[in-house]
Protein backbone atom coordinates (compact mmCIF):
# COMPACT_ATOMS: atom_id res chain seq x y z
CA UNK A 1 0.00 0.00 0.00
CA UNK A 2 1.33 3.45 -0.83
CA UNK A 3 1.34 6.03 1.97
CA UNK A 4 -1.37 8.71 1.60
CA UNK A 5 -0.08 12.27 1.64
CA UNK A 6 -0.97 14.04 4.88
CA UNK A 7 -3.73 16.63 4.90
CA UNK A 8 -3.07 19.08 7.72
CA UNK A 9 -5.98 20.87 9.42
CA UNK A 10 -4.99 24.15 11.09
CA UNK A 11 -7.12 26.61 13.06
CA UNK A 12 -7.13 29.76 10.91
CA UNK A 13 -4.77 32.01 12.92
CA UNK A 14 -2.23 34.39 11.30
CA UNK A 15 0.55 31.76 11.38
CA UNK A 16 -1.68 29.24 9.62
CA UNK A 17 -2.60 31.84 6.98
CA UNK A 18 1.12 32.44 6.28
CA UNK A 19 1.69 28.68 6.04
CA UNK A 20 -1.24 28.43 3.62
CA UNK A 21 0.09 31.26 1.42
CA UNK A 22 3.51 29.55 1.27
CA UNK A 23 1.82 26.28 0.35
CA UNK A 24 -0.03 27.98 -2.54
CA UNK A 25 3.25 29.52 -3.74
CA UNK A 26 4.79 26.04 -3.78
CA UNK A 27 1.93 24.86 -6.02
CA UNK A 28 -0.01 23.18 -3.19
CA UNK A 29 -3.75 22.81 -2.60
CA UNK A 30 -5.31 24.66 0.35
CA UNK A 31 -8.96 24.48 1.43
CA UNK A 32 -10.19 27.69 3.06
CA UNK A 33 -13.51 29.07 4.32
CA UNK A 34 -15.50 31.72 2.51
CA UNK A 35 -18.86 33.15 3.60
CA UNK A 36 -20.60 30.82 1.11
CA UNK A 37 -18.85 27.40 1.24
CA UNK A 38 -15.29 26.12 1.76
CA UNK A 39 -13.17 26.55 -1.39
CA UNK A 40 -10.27 24.43 -2.60
CA UNK A 41 -7.58 26.94 -3.54
CA UNK A 42 -4.64 26.80 -5.94
CA UNK A 43 -2.40 29.48 -7.46
CA UNK A 44 -4.44 30.57 -10.49
CA UNK A 45 -1.27 31.43 -12.44
CA UNK A 46 0.34 27.96 -12.13
CA UNK A 47 -1.15 25.59 -14.70
CA UNK A 48 0.29 22.56 -12.92
CA UNK A 49 -1.27 23.51 -9.59
CA UNK A 50 -4.63 24.02 -11.35
CA UNK A 51 -4.28 20.59 -12.99
CA UNK A 52 -3.64 19.02 -9.57
CA UNK A 53 -6.74 20.78 -8.24
CA UNK A 54 -8.96 19.31 -10.98
CA UNK A 55 -7.47 15.86 -10.23
CA UNK A 56 -8.01 16.17 -6.44
CA UNK A 57 -11.70 17.00 -6.98
CA UNK A 58 -12.16 14.52 -9.80
CA UNK A 59 -13.56 17.40 -11.86
CA UNK A 60 -13.66 17.45 -15.67
CA UNK A 61 -11.06 19.94 -16.79
CA UNK A 62 -13.23 21.71 -19.36
CA UNK A 63 -15.25 23.45 -16.67
CA UNK A 64 -13.80 26.85 -15.72
CA UNK A 65 -13.00 28.02 -12.17
CA UNK A 66 -13.66 31.23 -10.26
CA UNK A 67 -10.59 33.41 -9.56
CA UNK A 68 -10.66 34.94 -6.08
CA UNK A 69 -8.97 38.28 -5.40
CA UNK A 70 -8.86 40.58 -2.38
CA UNK A 71 -10.33 43.73 -3.96
CA UNK A 72 -11.55 45.59 -7.04
CA UNK A 73 -8.06 46.85 -7.92
CA UNK A 74 -6.81 43.27 -8.21
CA UNK A 75 -9.95 42.34 -10.19
CA UNK A 76 -9.31 45.09 -12.77
CA UNK A 77 -5.94 43.53 -13.60
CA UNK A 78 -7.76 40.36 -14.68
CA UNK A 79 -10.92 41.61 -16.42
CA UNK A 80 -12.54 44.60 -18.09
CA UNK A 81 -15.31 46.31 -16.11
CA UNK A 82 -18.15 48.07 -17.91
CA UNK A 83 -20.50 50.49 -16.10
CA UNK A 84 -22.81 47.73 -14.86
CA UNK A 85 -19.90 45.65 -13.57
CA UNK A 86 -18.66 48.72 -11.70
CA UNK A 87 -22.09 49.21 -10.14
CA UNK A 88 -22.39 45.61 -8.96
CA UNK A 89 -18.84 45.48 -7.62
CA UNK A 90 -19.39 48.72 -5.70
CA UNK A 91 -22.67 47.48 -4.24
CA UNK A 92 -21.80 43.86 -3.40
CA UNK A 93 -18.04 43.27 -3.11
CA UNK A 94 -16.77 41.88 -0.86
CA UNK A 95 -19.62 39.36 -0.76
CA UNK A 96 -21.33 36.32 -2.29
CA UNK A 97 -21.42 37.59 -5.91
CA UNK A 98 -19.28 36.27 -8.80
CA UNK A 99 -19.00 38.34 -11.98
CA UNK A 100 -18.16 36.83 -15.37
CA UNK A 101 -16.38 39.50 -17.41
CA UNK A 102 -14.18 39.84 -20.52
CA UNK A 103 -10.66 38.72 -19.67
CA UNK A 104 -7.82 41.27 -19.95
CA UNK A 105 -5.44 40.44 -22.81
CA UNK A 106 -2.53 40.09 -20.37
CA UNK A 107 -4.52 38.25 -17.68
CA UNK A 108 -2.03 36.02 -15.82
CA UNK A 109 -4.61 33.36 -14.90
CA UNK A 110 -3.80 29.97 -16.47
CA UNK A 111 -5.83 28.99 -19.56
CA UNK A 112 -6.63 25.72 -17.82
CA UNK A 113 -8.46 27.66 -15.08
CA UNK A 114 -10.55 29.63 -17.59
CA UNK A 115 -11.01 26.55 -19.81
CA UNK A 116 -9.65 28.57 -22.72
CA UNK A 117 -12.58 31.05 -22.65
CA UNK A 118 -12.07 34.76 -23.28
CA UNK A 119 -14.15 35.51 -20.19
CA UNK A 120 -13.23 35.03 -16.53
CA UNK A 121 -15.26 34.54 -13.33
CA UNK A 122 -14.16 36.81 -10.46
CA UNK A 123 -15.12 36.93 -6.81
CA UNK A 124 -14.03 39.04 -3.83
CA UNK A 125 -15.05 37.05 -0.74
CA UNK A 126 -15.97 38.73 2.54
CA UNK A 127 -14.97 36.01 5.04
CA UNK A 128 -12.03 37.13 7.22
CA UNK A 129 -9.77 34.12 6.64
CA UNK A 130 -10.39 34.14 2.89
CA UNK A 131 -9.48 37.84 2.82
CA UNK A 132 -6.36 37.34 4.96
CA UNK A 133 -5.19 34.48 2.71
CA UNK A 134 -5.77 36.41 -0.53
CA UNK A 135 -3.93 39.43 0.86
CA UNK A 136 -1.01 37.34 2.14
CA UNK A 137 -0.72 35.40 -1.13
CA UNK A 138 -0.92 38.45 -3.41
CA UNK A 139 -1.98 36.58 -6.55
CA UNK A 140 -5.38 35.29 -7.76
CA UNK A 141 -6.53 32.00 -6.21
CA UNK A 142 -8.82 29.67 -8.14
CA UNK A 143 -11.24 27.92 -5.81
CA UNK A 144 -14.13 25.62 -6.62
CA UNK A 145 -16.10 24.24 -3.70
CA UNK A 146 -13.82 21.91 -1.68
CA UNK A 147 -15.73 18.67 -2.27
CA UNK A 148 -15.27 15.66 -4.54
CA UNK A 149 -16.93 16.51 -7.84
CA UNK A 150 -20.68 15.85 -7.69
CA UNK A 151 -20.88 15.79 -3.88
CA UNK A 152 -22.63 18.31 -1.66
CA UNK A 153 -20.54 21.49 -1.11
CA UNK A 154 -18.74 21.72 2.26
CA UNK A 155 -19.84 24.31 4.79
CA UNK A 156 -17.53 23.10 7.55
CA UNK A 157 -13.86 22.01 7.73
CA UNK A 158 -14.87 18.49 8.69
CA UNK A 159 -16.92 18.15 5.48
CA UNK A 160 -13.76 19.03 3.51
CA UNK A 161 -11.74 16.43 5.40
CA UNK A 162 -14.39 13.77 4.80
CA UNK A 163 -14.20 14.35 1.01
CA UNK A 164 -10.55 15.26 0.39
CA UNK A 165 -8.39 13.75 3.15
CA UNK A 166 -5.07 12.63 1.67
CA UNK A 167 -5.76 14.47 -1.63
CA UNK A 168 -4.91 18.03 -0.58
CA UNK A 169 -2.19 19.65 1.54
CA UNK A 170 -3.95 21.85 4.04
CA UNK A 171 -7.34 22.90 5.43
CA UNK A 172 -7.76 26.23 7.20
CA UNK A 173 -10.52 25.72 9.78
CA UNK A 174 -12.50 28.84 10.66
CA UNK A 175 -15.80 27.23 11.62
CA UNK A 176 -19.04 26.97 9.64
CA UNK A 177 -19.82 29.15 6.59
CA UNK A 178 -22.52 31.73 7.41
CA UNK A 179 -24.26 31.89 3.99
CA UNK A 180 -24.12 28.17 3.20
CA UNK A 181 -24.90 28.19 -0.57
CA UNK A 182 -22.45 29.14 -3.32
CA UNK A 183 -22.13 32.65 -4.73
CA UNK A 184 -24.63 34.07 -7.21
CA UNK A 185 -23.00 34.17 -10.67
CA UNK A 186 -23.84 37.02 -13.06
CA UNK A 187 -22.35 37.30 -16.55
CA UNK A 188 -21.78 40.83 -17.88
CA UNK A 189 -20.73 39.96 -21.41
CA UNK A 190 -23.84 41.29 -23.12
CA UNK A 191 -27.18 41.55 -21.40
CA UNK A 192 -26.65 40.94 -17.64
CA UNK A 193 -27.47 37.26 -17.15
CA UNK A 194 -28.04 35.17 -14.03
CA UNK A 195 -25.89 32.05 -14.57
CA UNK A 196 -26.41 30.58 -11.08
CA UNK A 197 -28.74 31.70 -8.27
CA UNK A 198 -26.79 31.81 -5.02
CA UNK A 199 -26.01 33.57 -1.76
CA UNK A 200 -26.97 37.03 -3.04
CA UNK A 201 -30.69 37.21 -3.90
CA UNK A 202 -31.56 38.07 -7.52
CA UNK A 203 -33.82 40.94 -6.46
CA UNK A 204 -30.92 42.78 -4.76
CA UNK A 205 -28.93 42.66 -8.00
CA UNK A 206 -31.87 43.72 -10.17
CA UNK A 207 -32.51 46.68 -7.86
CA UNK A 208 -28.97 47.98 -8.35
CA UNK A 209 -29.00 47.38 -12.13
CA UNK A 210 -32.48 48.85 -12.51
CA UNK A 211 -33.46 46.02 -14.87
CA UNK A 212 -34.20 42.31 -14.69
CA UNK A 213 -31.44 39.73 -15.14
CA UNK A 214 -31.74 37.61 -18.27
CA UNK A 215 -31.85 33.83 -18.08
CA UNK A 216 -28.97 31.92 -19.65
CA UNK A 217 -29.52 29.98 -22.89
CA UNK A 218 -27.97 27.09 -21.06
CA UNK A 219 -27.69 26.79 -17.27
CA UNK A 220 -24.18 26.10 -16.02
CA UNK A 221 -23.09 22.95 -14.32
CA UNK A 222 -19.66 22.22 -12.94
CA UNK A 223 -19.56 18.59 -13.96
CA UNK A 224 -20.75 18.42 -17.53
CA UNK A 225 -21.92 20.60 -20.39
CA UNK A 226 -25.58 19.77 -20.67
CA UNK A 227 -28.50 20.06 -23.02
CA UNK A 228 -30.93 22.95 -22.45
CA UNK A 229 -33.70 22.08 -20.03
CA UNK A 230 -31.90 19.09 -18.56
CA UNK A 231 -31.22 19.09 -14.87
CA UNK A 232 -27.95 17.37 -14.10
CA UNK A 233 -27.51 15.61 -10.79
CA UNK A 234 -25.21 17.73 -8.71
CA UNK A 235 -24.84 18.91 -5.12
CA UNK A 236 -26.09 15.38 -4.57
CA UNK A 237 -26.46 13.40 -1.37
CA UNK A 238 -26.29 9.58 -1.58
CA UNK A 239 -29.95 9.31 -0.58
CA UNK A 240 -32.76 9.81 -3.06
CA UNK A 241 -34.53 13.17 -2.66
CA UNK A 242 -38.29 13.80 -2.98
CA UNK A 243 -39.22 17.47 -3.29
CA UNK A 244 -42.27 19.48 -2.15
CA UNK A 245 -43.33 16.82 0.35
CA UNK A 246 -46.05 17.95 2.73
CA UNK A 247 -45.49 14.88 4.87
CA UNK A 248 -43.00 11.99 4.83
CA UNK A 249 -44.07 8.56 3.61
CA UNK A 250 -43.13 5.24 5.22
CA UNK A 251 -39.38 4.71 5.22
CA UNK A 252 -38.49 8.33 4.39
CA UNK A 253 -36.52 10.81 6.46
CA UNK A 254 -37.84 14.39 6.58
CA UNK A 255 -35.99 17.59 5.80
CA UNK A 256 -38.42 20.11 7.22
CA UNK A 257 -38.84 23.84 6.60
CA UNK A 258 -41.02 25.80 9.00
CA UNK A 259 -43.34 24.10 11.50
CA UNK A 260 -42.99 20.34 10.86
CA UNK A 261 -45.82 17.79 10.75
CA UNK A 262 -45.94 15.27 13.63
CA UNK A 263 -43.34 12.64 12.71
CA UNK A 264 -41.51 10.01 14.73
CA UNK A 265 -38.81 9.18 12.13
CA UNK A 266 -35.48 10.85 11.32
CA UNK A 267 -36.03 14.57 10.85
CA UNK A 268 -33.88 17.68 10.53
CA UNK A 269 -35.31 21.18 10.15
CA UNK A 270 -33.76 23.80 7.83
CA UNK A 271 -35.49 26.53 9.84
CA UNK A 272 -38.34 25.94 12.30
CA UNK A 273 -39.33 29.61 11.95
CA UNK A 274 -39.23 29.52 8.13
CA UNK A 275 -36.20 31.82 7.84
CA UNK A 276 -34.58 31.44 4.38
CA UNK A 277 -31.21 32.79 5.54
CA UNK A 278 -31.01 30.15 8.27
CA UNK A 279 -32.20 27.48 5.82
CA UNK A 280 -29.47 28.32 3.28
CA UNK A 281 -26.81 28.15 5.99
CA UNK A 282 -28.00 24.70 7.08
CA UNK A 283 -28.88 23.12 3.73
CA UNK A 284 -25.66 21.27 2.85
CA UNK A 285 -24.75 20.22 6.40
CA UNK A 286 -28.26 18.81 6.93
CA UNK A 287 -28.01 16.83 3.65
CA UNK A 288 -24.63 15.46 4.81
CA UNK A 289 -26.04 14.55 8.24
CA UNK A 290 -28.99 12.69 6.75
CA UNK A 291 -26.57 10.77 4.50
CA UNK A 292 -24.39 9.96 7.50
CA UNK A 293 -27.49 8.62 9.29
CA UNK A 294 -27.87 6.17 6.40
CA UNK A 295 -31.35 7.26 5.28
CA UNK A 296 -32.43 6.02 1.83
CA UNK A 297 -34.97 8.69 0.87
CA UNK A 298 -35.13 12.31 2.00
CA UNK A 299 -38.54 13.98 1.73
CA UNK A 300 -38.11 17.76 1.56
CA UNK A 301 -40.88 20.17 2.57
CA UNK A 302 -41.61 23.04 0.13
CA UNK A 303 -39.36 26.11 0.33
CA UNK A 304 -40.70 29.44 -1.04
CA UNK A 305 -38.87 30.53 -4.19
CA UNK A 306 -38.11 34.08 -3.08
CA UNK A 307 -34.86 35.67 -1.83
CA UNK A 308 -32.36 32.93 -0.96
CA UNK A 309 -35.12 30.40 -1.66
CA UNK A 310 -34.23 30.55 -5.37
CA UNK A 311 -30.70 29.22 -4.64
CA UNK A 312 -32.00 26.68 -2.10
CA UNK A 313 -34.54 25.31 -4.59
CA UNK A 314 -31.92 25.22 -7.36
CA UNK A 315 -29.60 23.07 -5.19
CA UNK A 316 -32.49 20.87 -4.01
CA UNK A 317 -33.65 20.28 -7.60
CA UNK A 318 -30.13 19.19 -8.54
CA UNK A 319 -29.95 16.94 -5.47
CA UNK A 320 -33.22 15.33 -6.58
CA UNK A 321 -32.23 14.87 -10.24
CA UNK A 322 -31.50 11.31 -11.43
CA UNK A 323 -27.94 10.32 -10.62
CA UNK A 324 -25.63 9.42 -13.49
Which residues, numbered 29-68, are part of the site for ligand TXA (CB under 6 A)? Answer: 34, 36-37, 39, 63-66
Residue 36 binds which entry of Mg ion, ligand TXA, none, CB below 5-8 Å type-dependent: ligand TXA
In the bound complex, what is the minimum distance in angstroms from residue 256's beta carbon to Mg ion?
25
Smallest distance, Mg ion to C-beta of residue 153, A: 5
One of 31, 97, 172, 185 touching ligand TXA (CB under 6 A): 185
Total binding residues toward ligand TXA, as defined by CB under 6 A: 24
CA angle 88, 189, 200 (to 5 degrees): 35
Enumerate binding residues for Mg ion (CB under 5 A).
145, 222
182 binds ligand TXA (CB under 6 A): yes
| CA nearest to 243, candidates 317, 136, 142, 150 | 317
C-alpha torsion angle, residues 278, 283, 285, 290 (rounded to 10)? 120
131 part of the interface to ligand TXA, by CB under 6 A = no
Stretch that binds ligand TXA, among 138-146, 237-245, 255-263, 280-288 (CB under 6 A): 138-146
Q: Kindly tell me which of 43 and 182 has the beta carbon lying closer to ligand TXA.
A: 182
Nearer to Mg ion, 65 or 74 (CB): 65
Instruction: Please give the biggest Cα pair distance in the chain.
Output: 60
Q: Which is nearer to Mg ion, 135 or 223 (CB)?
A: 223
Where does this chain bind ligand TXA (CB under 6 A)? 34, 36-37, 39, 63-66, 98, 100, 117, 119-121, 123, 143-145, 182-183, 185, 195, 220, 222
Amino acid sequence: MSAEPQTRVLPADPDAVRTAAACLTAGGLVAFPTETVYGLGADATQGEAVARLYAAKGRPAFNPLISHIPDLAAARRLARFNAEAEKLAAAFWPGPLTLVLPKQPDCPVSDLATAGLDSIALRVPAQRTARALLEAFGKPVVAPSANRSGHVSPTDAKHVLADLRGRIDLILDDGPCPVGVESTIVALLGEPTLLRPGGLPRADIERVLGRPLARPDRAIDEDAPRAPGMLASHYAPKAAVRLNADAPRDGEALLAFGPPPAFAGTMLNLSPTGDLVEAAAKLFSHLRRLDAAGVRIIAVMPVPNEGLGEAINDRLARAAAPKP
